[in-house]
Amino acid sequence: MFSHGRETLSCWLFSVVVAVFLAGCSQDKATGDCFYVEIAPAKFVPVRFPYFKDHDLVIKYNGNVVTYKSPPGVNMPESLMEYNGKLYVLAFDTSARRYEDRKKYGPWRWRCFEQDGKGFKEIPASSFPRSIALINIWRPNGFRGHVSRRFSTGTNGEKIDQIDLVRSLDTENLYFANCEIAWLWFMLEVNNDFNAIVGGGPRDTVRYNPSDRSFVREFKAKYKPTQLTTVELKPVPRKDRRF
Amino acid sequence: MIAVIVANEPLHRGHMSAASGSHLVTSQHLTFSVDRGYPRWLHSWFNPVSRVDILGLADLPNHVAVGLDAMRQLGINLSAEQAECFSRGLTLPDLPDADLNGIASGKGDIPMAELLALKMEVSKKLALLRQNLDQAKNQIQQRYPFLDLDDWYDWLPPAARWVGDQAAKYGRRVGYWRGDSTFIGPILSRTPGLRNNRTIRTHYGNLAYYHGMGDSGASAAVLQTNMVSAVRGLLEDFRKNGNCCRAYIELGMAVHMLTDSWTPGHVQRDASGSINLFQDYNRQSIHFHEYYDDLASHAPAAYDSAVNRSAWLIQMATGGGPLDVGVFFPLAPDARVGVVPGTEKATFWRTLFSGPSGGY
């Protein structure tokens, strides 16, 4: 009993030491990382990615500060777009990381959020505006603390840049139907279950077939997705970071 | 077989007994949540751990089951010795020829992994079905009668036993190991003396295609060609070696490679069965990988395909016809090597300070 108490105390002490260490190491401990995100063609807003609650976003938008609070277990937002004067966020939910969690939290899926005043509220995937279903938060070197997945290697060794695919939205590109945007579109439109993409789940799972280009062609023709100009994030100058 | 991760299921008998009310602090007794205001990076520190899992061994039950089910589908009744040799191959596609010769001839330094592989199948299922251990044990014994289940813990590799002991001894102190162990691959594959180790190379290096995976920068076409030639070589050896133990080991190795190519954590295939994506151990989340390694539970359609194709492969191997292995690994024109969203590994930093609900 007492030994547990000592261990708890030592954990707390260690945590305090680590916290001090972390704070000391951070380059900009007050504000965290800050980047301009392209939320509409050629329209950029500064977004702060705080260090410690690192799945939340603080966005300066139309003169207001809008905060996205990430629900527990949801990954870093991968899309922040504007539609009809409101901001929308897409984040991937991988909270069910373990066998027993999968039943509790459901499959890995996209979670959709709509601006509600100075915050965000969750909306069903079926209500998410399809024309802004894009992945536009590609942080340099990947999300902080994660390995980037921006680049992959093609059939014959060619380097595939996912950002190029987002920028061009060229459904005739050899690799488009097998890229993350196509997977996102399918999950929002047909089956918001990651098993549909990777081939897992029950036998009757409705699955995406990347070899059939008709889905991405029809999606693009029907919803006319927004075409962004750069997609890449740009650092916000230090003087503009405090908001 | 390489990396060690920690999750929250008991591993061995000591854990099981301790978890039922002795000094060991388990997650049932001490639960902290991000909702209580702890920063996420503290979460894993406070979360105790009582189960140790071994990356690379998690998929062994899957491979044994697929291989033996394929044999059943074909109506082939293996002798106990043949089944054990076949199972060794199913669980150990990484063995270099030298070790293979040692095992087949009963001489030489037989890797401890050789039999522990089958034992691990038991240990995992026992852990998962801890509420009814006897029933689980009987089920497994019935399915694999050649296994001696009484001493299964003794077959764990020393490293696994050490980690298990540490988990039992220190409880939550090893909690932070639950992270993604991203650092393991790069460190191992750069360590002099280890980087040429075959098991390292088949997971983090240029032989990753032995598990249907790719190292960064490899092209999908090259990986597919390598897989086809490796499987063809194994089947040729199977035919050459006749009815001996080594032949069944090599047949099992070929079936392992084919099964991996149907496993969503390794390879993505489209509706027609063509390969769309080879994934990369070096960049992939261990959680994602491990989850889908249990094909029968989490990707039953892929399990069926793996069994059917394996039966076809065994038929091809045992028949006298040409070894047209390419039919098992068709490549989509836009196939690539990469990592799917949500499945990237955390970095070393993240590994240490990310809690279970702090992202992937």
ipTM > 0.95 for the complex: no
Average pLDDT, chain B: 64
**B79 or B198: which leads in pLDDT:** B79
* CA proximity to B269, closest of A76, A32, A197: A197
Q: Is B342–A194 a contact, with Cβ atoms under 8 angstroms apart?
A: yes
**Greater model confidence, B213 or B242:** B213
Q: How many residues does chain A have?
A: 243
Statement: residue B246 has pLDDT above 90: no
Check residue B190 and give its pLDDT. 61
The more confidently predicted of residues A175 and B216 is: A175
Residues within 8 A of A (CB atoms), B 232-251 only: none
**Residues in B touching A180 (Cβ below 8 Å):** 340-341
Residue with more model confidence, B6 or B216: B216
Q: Which two tokens stand for residue B55?
A: 């990356």
CB of A68 within 8 A of CB of A56?
A: yes
Q: What is the pLDDT of residues B156-207, one digit of tens each?
A: 344 444 444 443 443 333 323 334 444 455 555 666 655 566 666 777 777 8
Is B296 an interface residue toward A (CB < 8 Å)?
A: no
Q: What is residue B99's predicted lDDT score, i.e. its pLDDT?
A: 52
Q: Pick the range with the lowest mean pLDDT from B245-249, B258-262, B268-272.
A: B245-249
How far is A157 from chain B, CA to nearest CA, in Å?
A: 4
Higher pLDDT, B120 or B79: B79
Mean pLDDT of B52-75: 71
Q: Does B221 touch chain A (CB under 8 A)?
A: yes
Is residue A96 within 8 A of residue A102, CB to CB? The reply is: yes
Tell me whether A157 touches chain B (CB under 8 Å). yes
**Of B51-65, B110-124, B256-270, which range is least confident?**
B110-124
CA A204 to the chain's CA centroid: 28
The DSSP bridge pattern shows strands A159-161 and A151-153 to be: antiparallel
Residue B272 has pLDDT above 70, yes or no: yes
CA nearest to B247, candidates B308, B312, B198, B318: B318
Q: What is the pLDDT of residues A144-162, one digit of tens each?
A: 445 567 888 899 888 999 8
Question: Could you tell me the pLDDT band of residue A33, with boundaries at 50, 70 and 90?
Answer: confident
Beta strands in chain B (DSSP E): 4-7, 51-54, 267-269, 275-279, 331-338
> For A163-172, B180-189, B328-337, which range has the lowest pLDDT when averaged over its residues?
B180-189
- Cα–Cα dist A111/B8, whole Å: 27
pLDDT digits (tens, 9 = 90+) for A69-83: 988 778 788 899 999
Helix runs in A98-178, H state only: 99-105, 162-168
B331 inside 8 A of chain A by CB = yes
Beta bridge partners of A122: A113
Total residue length of chain B: 360
Q: How far is residue B194's CA from residue B202's CA, in Å, rounded to a whole number?
A: 12
Q: How do residues A170-191 score in pLDDT, each as one tens digit?
A: 999 999 999 989 999 999 999 9
Give the C-alpha separation, B190 to B172, whole Å: 30
| Mean pLDDT (whole number) for B122-143 | 48
Choose, out of B22, B292, B357, the residue to mutate when testing the contact with A (most A CBs < 10 Å). B357
| Res B354: pLDDT | 46
Residue of B25, B34, B130, B276 to mutate for A, most A C-beta atoms under 10 A: B276
Q: Tokens 């490293």 correspond to what residue?
A: B159
Q: Which helix (H) or strand (E) holds A62?
A: none
More confident residue, A142 or A136: A136
Q: Which residues contact A25 (CB under 8 A, 6 or more apart)?
A: none
Nearest CA in chain B to A146: B346
Pairs across A and B, CB distance < 8 A: 185
Q: How confident is the model at residue B135 (pLDDT cuts 50, 70, 90)?
A: low
Total Cβ atoms within 10 A of residue B216: 17
Cβ atoms of residues A209 and A178 within 8 Å: no
A242 pLDDT band, cuts 50/70/90, is: confident
> Taking residues B348-360, what's their average pLDDT?
43
Residue A57 or B169, more confident? A57
Note the pLDDT of residue A75.
79
Residue B111 pLDDT:
41
Q: What is the pLDDT of residue B153?
A: 40
Q: Is residue B152 within 8 Å of residue B161, measured between CB atoms?
A: no
The answer on pLDDT for B323 being more than 70 is: yes
Q: Is A149 on the interface with B (CB under 8 A)?
A: yes
CA distances from B348 to A129, A141, A143, B180, B288 (A): 37, 14, 13, 8, 17
Q: Which B positions 6-65 lie with beta carbon below 8 A of chain A?
A: 7-8, 25, 33-35, 39-42, 45-46
Q: Which of residues 264-293 of B touch A (CB under 8 A)?
A: 264-265, 268-272, 274, 276-277, 283, 287, 291-292
Checking if the pLDDT of B104 tops 60, the result is no
- Bridge partners (DSSP) of residue A82 are A87
In B248-267, the residues whose Cβ lies within 8 Å of chain A are 264-265
**DSSP 8-state symbol, A236:** P
User: What is residue B181's predicted lDDT score, i.e. its pLDDT?
Assistant: 43
For the sheet containing B275-279, what is the strand order?
A: A159-161, A151-153, B331-338, B275-279, B267-269
The label of the residue with tokens 């190491």 reads A25
Conformation bin of residue B253: beta by default, left when phi > 0, alpha when psi is -120 to 50: alpha
Which range, of A62-66, A133-137, B147-151, B326-330, averages the lowest pLDDT? B147-151
* Cβ partners under 8 Å of residue A163, min gap 6: A138, A150, A231, A232
What is the DSSP-derived secondary structure letter of residue A114? E
pLDDT per residue as tens digits for the range A197-233: 988 888 999 999 998 899 999 999 999 999 999 888 8
Neighbour tally for B317: CB within 10 Å:
22
pTM above 0.80, yes or no: no
Residues B346, B9: Cα–Cα separation, whole Å: 22
pLDDT of B307 higher than 90: yes
**Distance in angstroms (rounded) separating the CA atoms of residues B360 and B357:** 8
Per-residue confidence band for B2, with pLDDT thresholds at 50, 70 and 90: very low
Task: State the Cα angle at B8 between B2 and B10, rounded to 5°.
Answer: 85
**With an 8 Å Cβ cutoff, are A200 and B269 in contact?**
no
